[in-house]
Copies of this chain bind each other. A is one copy, B any other.
Amino acid sequence: MFDGIRKYYELLIPALTELLWQELEKRLVIERYPKGSLICREGDICKGVYFIQEGLARLYYTVEGREICTGFAKEGEYLSEYDSFLTQSPAAQSMDVLEDTIAINLPFEQMQTLYEHAPVYEQAGRKIAENLFVLISRYNTRLLTLSPEDRYQYIIENQYHLIQRVPQYMLASLIGISPEHLSRIRKKMTR
């Protein structure tokens, strides 16, 4: 059950011994979400960092009744409303799942306990924070420096699984344009 996430932590913490892993493992919580259900609602405090074991999760703002997606995580990837998680303050975004999903949650209090328990866990926390920073930073770079066409092209070339698993109108909001406009861009690109 925990094979995938264990490999992930071994990458994060080169010095992860069997004992240290067991200490971590017993704090992990397996959570199952049926397609369409919420992991975290905007305004609530995000309870954890979720390692997606199986399925597909989504992070999005709701602005004037409309959803603006900012990220997706598939099997083997992490997702969290990390600002809310870190600062234990109300989440600006919601998280839900687009498919039946199994997530492994490392809750906030458990993470703090680990930090106090042994300093190596700090290293995992640091690398998770660093990885999430790089993700959001590059997302930002694309939004600010690429044209809508090039942002879509980026998804084709680097996140093709999203095109197969995510409705096009959600990708439009990820790119920062309307669904109609993405449809026209696609039409132009096939020519």
Contact = CB atoms under 8 A, between A and B. Distances in A.
Interface in A149-167: none
Given A92-B145, A130-B129, A144-B61, A83 B119 contact: no
Interface stretch (A1-9, A98-106, A131-139): A131-139
Nearest to A115: B123
A143 B142 CA distance: 13
B141 A61 contact: yes
Nearest to A69: B144
Majority secondary structure of chain A interface residues (helix, strand, loop or mixed): helix
B134 A136 contact: no
A141 B143 CA distance: 13
Contact of A129 (B68, B93, B133, B140): B133
Contacts of A68: 144-145
A145 B91 CA distance: 13
A9 B110 CA distance: 25
Nearest to A143: B143
Contact size range, A: 20 to 34
Residue with the greatest number of chain B CB neighbours at <10 A, chosen from A68, A83, A130, A139: A130
A50 interface: no
B145 A82 contact: no
A125 B144 CA distance: 27
**A-B interface, 3 closest residue pairs, ranked by CB to CB distance from nearest:** A119-B119, A129-B129, A126-B126
30 contacts: A61-B141, A61-B144, A61-B145, A63-B144, A63-B145, A68-B144, A68-B145, A82-B133, A82-B137, A83-B133, A83-B134, A83-B137, A83-B138, A86-B130, A92-B141, A119-B119, A119-B120, A119-B122, A122-B122, A125-B126, A126-B129, A129-B130, A129-B133, A132-B133, A136-B136, A136-B137, A139-B140, A140-B140, A143-B143, A144-B176
